[in-house]
Amino acid sequence: MKMIKANDIHKSFNKVEVLKGVSLEVNKGEVIAVIGPSGSGKSTFLRCLNRLETIDRGSIEIEGEIMVSTDGAGKVHYKPNKQIRQIRSKMGMVFQGFNLFPHKTVLENIIEAPLIVNAVLRNQAAEVAERLMKKVGLENKRDSYPSQLSGGQKQRVAIARALAMSPDIMLFDEPTSALDPELTGEVLKVMKDLAQEHMTMIVVTHEMGFAREVANRVIFMDHGQIVEEGVPEHIFANPSHERTKAFLSQVL
C-alpha cells in the first residue's frame, strides 16, 4: 500500500502560485529527501500533506484514505474534520522552530498530546515518554524546561513528542536549519536511527550528506514543481536537469 499519494497539488498565496501541480507517491518504509532552493515550495508541500495548509486543486490520500479530492468542476472537497483528525494522527511533524511548550518540562511536552488527544492514562503516557527520551538520548533531561536545553536537544524533544503519538509517517520540515552546525549531527543521528527502523519519512532538508546517505529517493524542487527525482547516486553524481546541476554546484 502507498503511504502517501499526492496528485497534481496546486497552492497559491495572494495570487502567487507556490505549488504548480506537484505529484508524489511514497511507499511504506521509504525515506524521501526533498531538496531545492528557498522559496521552491518544499515546506508548503509538506504542510499541505498534513493539512496545515489547504490546497487549491489536486488530491491527497494517506494510507489509502482520501483526505482531499477535486471534482470535475474544479471544486476541492476535504473530508469532515473528524476524519481529517483521524487521518492526520497517522502523521507526525517536526518543524524547524521546535514549537515546544516553554512552561512544560521535557516529559510534560512529550506526554501532552497522548493525554489530551488520545486520552491515554498518565502512567502509560509517561512510560512511553521515558522510552522515547532514551531513544533520543535525553533521559537525563526529563525534568528540564526548554529554556535549559540546547537547540539540538529541543529538536530531539520535538521528535520524541511527534513519536509519542505512534505515527506511521514522519514529516520533517528543515529540522536542522535553526541549529548551530555542531548541534546538527545529534538530530540527524536520531533521524538516521528512525530510517534504519523503516519509518516512512519525508524530509525537507539542506543537509546534502543526509540526503545522499539516508534517503531512498531524492526529490529536487524548484519554482513550485518537482524538477527531478531519483536515487541519491543519480541525483548527486549525475543529475539530468540543468536546474538540478546548477543548484548542486552551489551547495556541494
- Determine the length of the chain: 252
pLDDT at 115: 87
E-strand spans in 44-186? 57-62, 65-70, 76-78, 91-94, 169-173
Spatial distance between the Cα atoms of 236 and 47, rounded to a whole number of angstroms = 26
The pLDDT-based confidence of 42 (bands split at 50, 70, 90) is very high
Cα dihedral 99→14→171→135 (10° resolution): -10
Q: What are phi and psi of 138, to 5 degrees?
A: -130, 25
Residue 77 has pLDDT above 90, yes or no: yes
pLDDT at 119: 82
User: DSSP letters of 29-62?
Assistant: T-EEEEE--TTSSHHHHHHHHTTSS--SEEEEEE
Spatial distance between the Cα atoms of 150 and 183, rounded to a whole number of angstroms = 8
Residue of 36, 35, 23, 26 lying closest to 1 (CA atoms): 26
pLDDT at 244: 97
Residue 252 has pLDDT above 90, yes or no: no
Average pLDDT over residues 102-129: 92
E-strand spans in the chain? 2-13, 16-27, 31-35, 57-62, 65-70, 76-78, 91-94, 169-173, 200-204, 217-222, 225-230
DSSP state of 79: P
pLDDT at 97: 87
Burial of 75 (0-12, 13-18, 19+ CB in 10 A): exposed
Q: What percent of the chain is predicted at pLDDT more than 70?
A: 100
pLDDT at 118: 81
> pLDDT, tens digit, for every residue of 162-177?
999 999 999 999 999 9
Average pLDDT over residues 40-53: 97
The grid coordinates of residue 123 equal: 502512567
HEC secondary structure over 189-210: HHHHHHHHCCCEEEEECCCHHH
Residue 249 has pLDDT above 90, yes or no: yes
pLDDT at 182: 85
Residue of 203, 198, 169 lying closest to 88 (CA atoms): 169
Average pLDDT over residues 182-200: 94
33 and 210 in contact (C-beta within 8 Å)?
yes
